[in-house]
Chain A
Amino acid sequence: MSSEPILRVKDLTIDLLTAHTVVRPVDGVAYELSRRETLAIVGESGSGKTVTCFAPLGLMPVGVQADISGSILFDSRQLVGSDNETLRSLRGKSIGFIFQDPMSALNPARRVGRQIAEVAELHLGMTARAAETRALELIKMVGMSDPEIRLKQYPHELSGGLRQRVMIAIAIAAEPTLLVADEPTTALDVTVQAQILRLLKEIQSRMDMAMILITHDMGVVAGAADRVMVMYAGRHVETGPTERVLSQPQHPYTMGLIDAIPRKQDAIGSRFRGLPGIPPILGAPITGCAFMARCGYAVDACGERRPPFLPTAVPGVSAACPVLNIRAKECA
């Protein structure tokens, strides 16, 4: 499965500067992604999952300045420090994006067909008519009925699931090598979520794409991801193959996340097993482990310095936890 990685992120740190405040939502994150592989980035809201993927490609709303340091090698091209034009030529062409809320992400005043076709026009050098044909093909590919009619419709005439399919069609229109999907199923009905996820996997294998799946839903992770990266307060705390991380979580935060999923055997009316406490407010970087305040296993050493990210006793799984690292060393 794994070959030469197409994406290699090292020590990625992002500071977001706004008119009111400055935060560091991504703090020294590192990961790799191979061709055809799916990586799920998991964490609570505000843990920096979205910024990790969007800011380095210049996708930030007006009024937010992202200062980025570290290294991102995409197809052996360095993205950190690249100018806007280079990043723009990658967006849409080599990297496709899917957003959380397809209602606000699609332009309400333009026909769906045009919104898809313009990507083909821009990146595949097609004429308007050829691009229109391409849009029709894509609409069929993402499994929409009555494709000719859909092309002429406006986003508000479509259901949530269909809008997300349009969004997917836009993202894959230029056959990118990497697809970044930011919570693609969160805004959808439960019944539609599985369909969209299945469609994503199907298209991924057909187009030989790598995919980053940003989510907070462990069900999505289990169903779609090859590997997982768990983020907490802007830092990656655990990575590994999906089945191992889900069955033998190593980091106390991952354990908490998995434990918080309601189970079938839970008595009706029993209390939710949430994580105690709330995530820290992002701001100045935290000395020591960011999870310490909510962690049941914490020792004094946790607060002294940032825990290094090291392999654990489970093969292929690495984590950043002093307690765990000591245990791993003892095992070795």
Chain B
Amino acid sequence: MQPVRPLLKAIGAFPRSAVFTIGAFVLLGLLAPYIAPHDPNAQDLLIAGQGPTLAHPFGVDHLGRDTLSRLIVAARTSLVGVCLVLVCAHAIGIAIGTIAGYRRGWTDELLMRIVDVGQAIPSLIVSLAVIGIAGVSYWNMILALALAWWPGSARISRAVAVNTMNKPHMEALRVLGASPVRIYFVHLLPTTIGAVLVYATADAGAVALAIATLSFLGLGIQPPTPEWGQMLVDALPYLESDPRQVILPGLTLTLAVIGFNILGEAVALNRVPKPLTSRMLAARRRVTAFWAKEARP
């Protein structure tokens, strides 16, 4: 449970709007098959392109598939994809980062140079190159994105690992004769995983965007599996007659990503002091008003 605690603690301090949107996205993804009112892939060409009705509140697409159900099931596609990518990327990143931070010296130097190069190249081009060589498939997409995302994770893990190794209690452990295996697996790895989890959460939005972008380009999730980017590109030829089918998936995707971005901004701005809000000022002034009263008699 040790790695989870910092995440839970961090969630407590997250902006409420972020917690709400991310929570909605995750819940939707988990419960999608139970919430979706229709089979997302059931076609009914007779009603194709129809506007909202009671049975299909968001209308149907050009093949007569229920848009609401497809949007909901797409959340699951996205959530599963994001989780797989993050798990793979961070598995590679944490392994490399902690080894670099534990060993230091030339190992650290070499690994971090590789990470430098990896970080200098935009993630989309890395994933495109991998797919271009390995071919279009679901697992190739996951692999491609994981290969694009691990350097960031490695950098953070290394920083955390170096920090942890420099703490006095780690020195004490070493002096007491704890084996390297024990230090690495019992003390270093869990601490690093815990610290990286928060960053992973803030990064999930970018991964969700990348999955949607690859699917939009026809290189990610393939039809008929519903996915927001792929739904959008599917409906694009009908933009003029039925813009709803383009706007809805785009909007849903943006909403899902925005939660993660609010979180990222909150993490980035944590250290900068801000002027007090009027509510906080009032609260503080109630304290000083009490002092004045106390001092009078």
**A interface residue numbers (CB < 8 A to B):** 15, 17-19, 22, 24, 61-65, 67, 284-285, 287
**Chain A residues near B275 (CB-CB < 8 A):** 62-63, 65
User: Is the pair B274, A17 in contact by a Cβ cutoff of 8 Å?
Assistant: no
User: Is the pair B288, A67 in contact by a Cβ cutoff of 8 Å?
Assistant: yes
CA distance A61 to B294 in the complex (A): 29
Of the listed stretches B59-67, B145-153, B155-163, B278-286, name the one at the interface; the rest are far from the partner chain.
B278-286
Q: A18-B276, A63-B274, A65-B275 are in contact. List 11 more A-B contacts (CB 8 A).
A: A15-B291, A17-B281, A19-B273, A22-B287, A24-B288, A62-B273, A65-B276, A65-B281, A67-B288, A284-B294, A285-B291
**Chain B residues near A62 (CB-CB < 8 A):** 273-275
**B interface residue numbers (CB < 8 A to A):** 273-276, 280-281, 284-285, 287-288, 291, 294-295
Most buried by B among A22, A63, A67, A285: A22
Q: A17-B281, A285-B295 are in contact. Are A63 and B288 (CB under 8 A)?
A: no
Q: Given A22, A61, A63, A284, which contacts B284 in the complex, CB threshold below 8 Å?
A: A22
B282 to chain A, nearest CB (A): 10
A133 to chain B, nearest CB (A): 38
**Chain B residues near A18 (CB-CB < 8 A):** 276, 284
User: Is the pair B288, A19 in contact by a Cβ cutoff of 8 Å?
Assistant: no
Q: Given A17, A284, A285, which contacts B276 in the complex, CB threshold below 8 Å?
A: A17
B283 to chain A, nearest CB (A): 9
A128 to chain B, nearest CB (A): 33
Nearest residue (CB) in B for A63 is B273
Most buried by A among B275, B288, B294: B288
**Chain B residues near A15 (CB-CB < 8 A):** 284, 288, 291
Chain A interface, >50% SS class: loop
Nearest residue (CB) in B for A17 is B284
User: Is the pair B273, A22 in contact by a Cβ cutoff of 8 Å?
Assistant: no
**Chain B residues near A24 (CB-CB < 8 A):** 288, 291
Nearest residue (CB) in B for A62 is B273
**Chain A residues near B288 (CB-CB < 8 A):** 15, 17, 22, 24, 67
User: Is the pair B294, A19 in contact by a Cβ cutoff of 8 Å?
Assistant: no
CA distance A212 to B114 in the complex (A): 57
Q: A17-B281, A284-B294, A285-B294 are in contact. Are A63 and B287 (CB under 8 A)?
A: no
User: Is the pair A19, B291 in contact by a Cβ cutoff of 8 Å?
Assistant: no
B290 to chain A, nearest CB (A): 8
**Chain A residues near B276 (CB-CB < 8 A):** 17-19, 63, 65
Nearest residue (CB) in B for A21 is B284
Q: Report 18 cross-chain contacts, Cβ distance below 8 Å, ordered by A residue.
A: A15-B284, A15-B288, A15-B291, A17-B281, A17-B284, A17-B288, A19-B273, A19-B280, A22-B287, A22-B288, A24-B291, A62-B273, A62-B274, A62-B275, A285-B291, A285-B294, A285-B295, A287-B295
User: Is the pair B294, A17 in contact by a Cβ cutoff of 8 Å?
Assistant: no
User: Is the pair A17, B295 in contact by a Cβ cutoff of 8 Å?
Assistant: no
User: Is the pair A61, B273 in contact by a Cβ cutoff of 8 Å?
Assistant: yes
**Chain A residues near B274 (CB-CB < 8 A):** 19, 62-63
CA distance A22 to B273 in the complex (A): 15
**Chain A residues near B295 (CB-CB < 8 A):** 285, 287
User: Is the pair B291, A284 in contact by a Cβ cutoff of 8 Å?
Assistant: yes
CA distance A17 to B273 in the complex (A): 13
**Chain A residues near B291 (CB-CB < 8 A):** 15, 24, 284-285
CA distance A261 to B280 in the complex (A): 43
CA distance A22 to B288 in the complex (A): 8
Nearest residue (CB) in A for B274 is A63
